[in-house]
Structure 1
């Protein structure tokens, strides 16, 4: 009696064990579709004349713990290893436990339970090893599902981002306007060698034609293109850098190869997700000359006081005398940031640019200073403001000021949203050349609301209004931006 029942269990385990240990994970998924056969007739190579037919039929009808190969065969004459037997036994144990948990214990006879118990004791080592193997396979499967490209999530990843939309600009009272559909496509390759460092390569293609008379322009992502710029690019290498910790993480260093300015690595930031490029950091101290950059941030007192310094140049690859990384147009920038509370950050930054590459491509060297503050009034309301002053090399007639004040509202109406309202004076280089004592500084007001449609798609309607945009007329720019990220 025992021999026949053990042979029956052995027969059922043969197919289950062979499948569990012979095929790779993609085939395993295919096997699962065929796993629970409901009739022996589904196994094409099993005939009523086979000596194991009745045992196999009993296992199918009584316990349902029989599986065939993906091609619908059983392969009953194949040799059986102890490991394969343990895999099949484990499958039958799971099925018996399901029957007991479902209140169907009467379907399992005492003789069968005694047989299973003896088999479980004899194959205890193999079952333990199998469970460990299954756990490892499940972990590997989860990793593959999370990273379909086969990259290690802890060390490498690829991100895609596309920002586009439709925007229009007009002068108040003027019925004429113009609509445009710009775009910016980014492909980011990121890797980590130690788990604490970041190496990024970005491929970027974008086409952005700013409206005539708009001194600030649109911003797509973290790197706007500046006022009055027309960008019609093929695929270029952008935002390529290596960021790594030093001295037990107290110093954060960055080497930027292209399109990285010293200010990109500093501590102070703004919480806005607005349409205009002005709703960002002050250009004079954070977005000056850059491209190739060496910078660091030193956390002098943990979570309290930070000092940053950066050196950047636009001519690092120029091999002519009087140019290059150290001799070409360059900027020295520094920042001191103070966080007396988790919800408050204060910062002062300064920059000195030399080499005929000042703001607005001026031939003059200049210096700038800015002050910034960000206050998290509540988890959903953030206040942010900054003021910047630029000092020219001559008699000061080209000195100018910028300021920005605004509120960001997080999770407002919709979880994951970012709405905001801000005002400021975009006194950019467009106005620095105007020699008119009666000239009124331009004034900007902007409102926007970013809300998620899915985890990968967000939409941002918004509008900004600038007075004295070209020294005389006002201009209003509005539109809807759509951002895809995956």
Structure 2
């Protein structure tokens, strides 16, 4: 279209509309009859602000009033209450970015980006200085090269019609000179091809837009990746079983997770998770380098698969049942973690390949009984403040053999009620879980029963006996200010070794979090707690330390980390885990683990 730019058609359209005024002025009676009553008085004195993502209104009438638009402006604009302190007139145009708005300009020289050498300079000068139907942006620019929206066109059209009404009502045909008429006629002839082309393009766009609106959703799959590398090892401590010093060898390990998120109607999600790694656990129940799960690091590889073997670690479909209920059906997953039940009350420690270094600093033991498997989870919002989460996971739901399957094998059923304050800076949750483990069954983590953290006794069972657990937890989170938050919990578990006896286990923890520490996006954390400790046991039950023997001392878990956010995709997290009296035995020297984790997300 030669030198005429799509974005500069403001000027032409106004001149073209003023051209209509020639006919209206020459035939005032006929013109008045042909003007709809709705356009007779369309000037609003309301100060308006464009909604987010929209453009400011460009045009004002001659009296500097913002032109009321015929199109429903509630989709674009919202009224701004007037205050006596504001120097802005209620006739001026305001933008979201500049409250010192600029309304009608009296001279084209007030528009800083208009130069006498511009091809449309004379036309703009006429519209500004003779007809008064041009308003600038708040920063005193016209921005003639930007795209014109339908709202702006409607505002400009209305401003021109208001001006036409003024001319007709006043009978001031002498304001229109012969030179202006010739200029308008010339412009009309020059722009005839462009108008025809524009009409065709608009018709085409409307057709394509209708198709897009009818087919605005399409099935898509998004890949989310996560790569974690770890350099770390034990710098102090013994194996609690052999009583020999643990090897102080540092290792370089990895974990990779790929998530394929697909949606079929825009509100549902099918998630397929693939993962593999070789991050070795430093300890387990009477196994591993430390001989205990105390201080167990997070994101350890499954002992049931070879190192770095890529497997399907999660398969879940989520859909909405009404506006307040989400249903999650999974063939391989962990319902409690899928729902984020622990993350909401421990947001600065819970995280995938992020935040806390240890498994225990991330969550109360009530969430850790069980393993990944098949099941269903439901999240329901009673209100903006009250949320209910329910989940049932069958650990070996894919196994048809005896003491396995969906309902005869190992399972965990969990429910949680979460309250959040209106400002979301305070949350408290009450959690209950019921779990059952047949004898001699294990999950992907290699455990049979217990939280897989804490003392060996808390994770032990009676050989040949099934085990039942009733778990209770109370958790809270409070964000004191944007740079400081505190969280804590207490957990109690009642174990029943069917046909043998009972036991009790307790845990507690408290953490301080420092968001944006030293730089925006980074995070610091300090955590102190007591991992699961067996506090009582039936006198006729022996879990490995003798009849009726429980953990005799108190062990503390002390942890600190600093997550340095390099950018949106890379974070480097050094941290340390210090365990006093490992396995709740003061005769064992303290163990210390140092960790340097690097996380790449894409």
Aligned to 1:45: none
Q: Select 2:223's aligned residue among 143, 158, 169.
A: 158
Report whether the alignment pairs 1:265 with 2:359: no
Aligned to 1:277: 359
Which has a greater percent of strand?
1
Structure 1 residue 136: deviation in Å? Answer: 11
Taking structure 2 as the reference length, the TM-score comes to 0.55
Change (3 A) 1:135 1:454: farther
CA distance in 1, matches of 2:270, 2:593: 37
CA distance in 2, matches of 1:378, 1:133: 53
Aligned to 1:456: 569
Change (3 A) 1:233 1:344: same
How many residues get paired? 374
Larger Rg: 2
Contact 1:261 1:288 in 2 (8 A): no
Structure 1 residue 306: deviation in Å? Answer: 2.1
Contact 1:240 1:260 in 2 (8 A): no
Aligned to 1:127: 198
Report whether the alignment pairs 1:410 with 2:475: no
Aligned to 1:144: none
CA distance in 1, matches of 2:552, 2:531: 14
Report whether the alignment pairs 1:317 with 2:398: yes
Report whether the alignment pairs 1:255 with 2:329: yes
Structure 1 residue 210: deviation in Å? Answer: 2.1
Taking structure 1 as the reference length, the TM-score comes to 0.67
SS of the equivalent of 1:275 reads coil
The Cα RMSD (Å) is 3.8
- Any unmatched runs of 5+ in structure 1? 1-8, 17-99, 138-151
Aligned to 1:47: none
Q: Select 1:358's aligned residue among 443, 446, 449.
A: 449
Aligned to 1:217: 296
Deviation string, structure 1 residues 35-62 (Cα, Å, up to 9, x no partner): xxxxxxxxxxxxxxxxxxxxxxxxxxxx
Structure 1 residue 372: deviation in Å? Answer: 0.6
Structure 1 residue 483: deviation in Å? Answer: 0.4
Q: Select 2:373's aligned residue among 255, 267, 291.
A: 291
Report whether the alignment pairs 1:327 with 2:440: no
Structure 1 residue 396: deviation in Å? Answer: 6.5
Report whether the alignment pairs 1:336 with 2:423: no
Deviation string, structure 1 residues 120-155 (Cα, Å, up to 9, x no partner): 233314224447879999xxxxxxxxxxxxxx8994
Structure 1 residue 408: deviation in Å? Answer: 1.3
Q: Select 2:233's aligned residue among 148, 154, 168.
A: 168
Deviation string, structure 1 residues 340-378 (Cα, Å, up to 9, x no partner): 442211111111112324214734222211111111212
Contact 2:255 2:308 in 1 (8 A): no
SS of the equivalent of 1:307 reads strand
Change (3 A) 1:457 1:377: same
Aligned to 1:203: 274
Report whether the alignment pairs 1:484 with 2:600: yes
Aligned to 1:75: none
Change (3 A) 1:482 1:153: farther
Change (3 A) 1:245 1:439: same
CA distance in 2, matches of 1:452, 1:113: 61
- 1:3-42 paired onto structure 2 within 5 Å: none
CA distance in 1, matches of 2:368, 2:121: 74
Deviation string, structure 1 residues 306-351 (Cα, Å, up to 9, x no partner): 2222111122222235532122211221112222442211111111
CA distance in 2, matches of 1:181, 1:135: 58
